Amino acid sequence: MSRIGKKPVQLPSGVTATVSGQKVEIKGPKGTRSFTGTDDVTITLEENAVQVMPRGSSKRARQQWGMSRTQVANLVTGVTDGFKKELEINGVGYRAAMEGNKLKLALGLSHDVLYAIPEGVTVTAPKPTEIIVEGIDQQLVGQVAANIRQFRKPEPYKGKGIKYKDEYIFRKEGKTK
């Protein structure tokens, strides 16, 4: 039994949901998002809450039950509060700046890295060593942050590179004579 799936997703004030078959569409102050559930679950709208129930008791139906409920909850969170990932840049001369719709990164390479920001995501660089990725789609925000981090992952000896703000880099000791 899915314990998370049993709990209905409450809709806060200012958020509306429409359910048609397996498709759920959530509208809120930040935008509109939709999710299409699999045939293993039944999605219903009851008294300002979205309820997800499994069809049958197969293992796949129980897996989809919890996953579908979490996806709907993420849609509600996205259109009300949005999602945010913060990145830090560590290293001498490493910096970030916005140039129109592109993020310009100086990461100790022979050239500056220009990263085009996709639609649906807002990237800001309030400081030269800080990058903030925001949007209503959790998957897209996480993917953009991971793509930016990929340009220069943090290394374990000096900690140089791009890391998530809450990430801990396990430091190693260098060579000794």
Which residue range forms the structural domain that includes residue 155? 83-164
> Would you place residue 4 in the very low, low, confident or very high pLDDT band (cuts 50, 70, 90)?
confident
**Rounded Cα–Cα distance for residues 19 and 27 (Å):** 12
What phi and psi, each to the nearest 5 degrees, are found at residue 5?
A: -70, -25
CATH code: domain of residue 39: 3.90.930.12
Q: Is the pTM of this model over 0.75?
A: yes
Residue 2: the pLDDT is 67
Same domain? For 47 and 69 the reply is yes
Model confidence pLDDT, tens digit, residues 96-149: 999 999 999 999 999 999 999 999 999 999 999 999 999 999 999 999 999 999
DSSP code, position 15 = -
CA atoms within 13 A on the CB side of 124: 7
Same domain? For 91 and 76 the reply is no
Same domain? For 155 and 89 the reply is yes
> Is 173 contained in some domain?
no
> Is 177 contained in some domain?
no
Averaged pLDDT score across all residues of the chain: 92
Counted domains in the chain: 2
Q: Where are the alpha helices (DSSP H) in the chain?
A: 3-6, 59-80, 138-150
Task: Give residues with Cβ within 8 angstroms of 153, minimum separation 6.
Answer: 161, 162
Same domain? For 128 and 102 the reply is yes
> Is 132 contained in some domain?
yes
